[in-house]
Amino acid sequence: MEKRRNILAGLLGLGGLTAVAKADKRKDNDNESPNAVFNSGLQLFFAQRDTVINFGADFVGNHIGTVEGAITGTSIVNFKFEPTSQNTIKFDNRCHIQDIDGDQIVFQVVGTGRFSEPLADTTLPLLGSLMALGGPLVATYVALKATGKYAFLVGRRFPCKMAASNCVRASAGVQGNVYVEVYSDNVSVLASAIRAYPRS
């Protein structure tokens, strides 16, 4: 079985997916930290900065923004999270990215998160309460559909970390924000393939 895993890890490594192999192997060792995959030579593939524009009592919402890195463009995310305890969640979201050439990619985003106890400045009640709900999340971005320069990414998996915050004084259309870092162990190869795609 270990030999089979080593072969699989080698094949995945050829495709820039060694981190996925490590994550898969982690399933057999519940004592290993979930963050172990992030300490394995990963590099930033792209960063995503979104504003939460809708967040309902049914835990369904949307956030929109931009991405920068080997992939750049606009982002739209439809999300729904499911509480798994008083302060933890799981989710299965969809993320759409479009760049300035019109090429698009859709990711499935599956992961877990936890709510942090918000810090507040109690000496200034009016302005001291800032975050209503939020915390860190970890997930995997899976490329489901893509056009143009991103088509070769379909089926590939990328680990990510996120920070999500909803503000105390939310307004219609502005509920909070989300920051995401998506990683790969083969960024230079992926970025070169994206840059080399012939432009019309």
Identify each DSSP E strand in the chain by its residue range. Answer: 43-55, 60-69, 73-83, 88-98, 104-114, 131-146, 157-171, 174-184
Q: How confident is the model at residue 40 (pLDDT cuts 50, 70, 90)?
A: confident
pLDDT of residue 170: 86
Q: What percent of the chain has pLDDT over 70?
A: 80
Q: What is the mean pLDDT of residues 169-185?
A: 93
For the chain, give every domain's residue range: 1-34, 42-196
Query: 2 pLDDT exceeds 60?
Result: no
Task: State the chain's mean pLDDT as an integer.
Answer: 85
Q: What is the mean pLDDT of residues 155-184?
A: 94
Measured distance CA(36)–CA(188) in Å, rounded: 22
> What CA–CA distances, in Å, run from 175 to 138, 169, 170, 171, 182?
21, 8, 5, 6, 23
Q: What is this structure's pTM?
A: 0.81
Give the bridge partners for 77, in sequence order: 63, 95
> pLDDT tens digits for 59-108?
999 999 999 999 999 999 999 999 999 999 999 999 999 999 999 999 99
The structure tokens listed for 171 are: 């307004």
Measured distance CA(153)–CA(160) in Å, rounded: 16
- Residue 123: how many CB atoms within 10 A of its CB? 7
Query: 165 pLDDT exceeds 90?
Result: yes
Q: What is the mean pLDDT of residues 113-140?
A: 94
At the second CATH level, the architecture of 42-196 is Beta Barrel (2.40)
> For tokens 């991405």, what's the residue?
67
- Residue 81: how many CB atoms within 10 A of its CB? 20
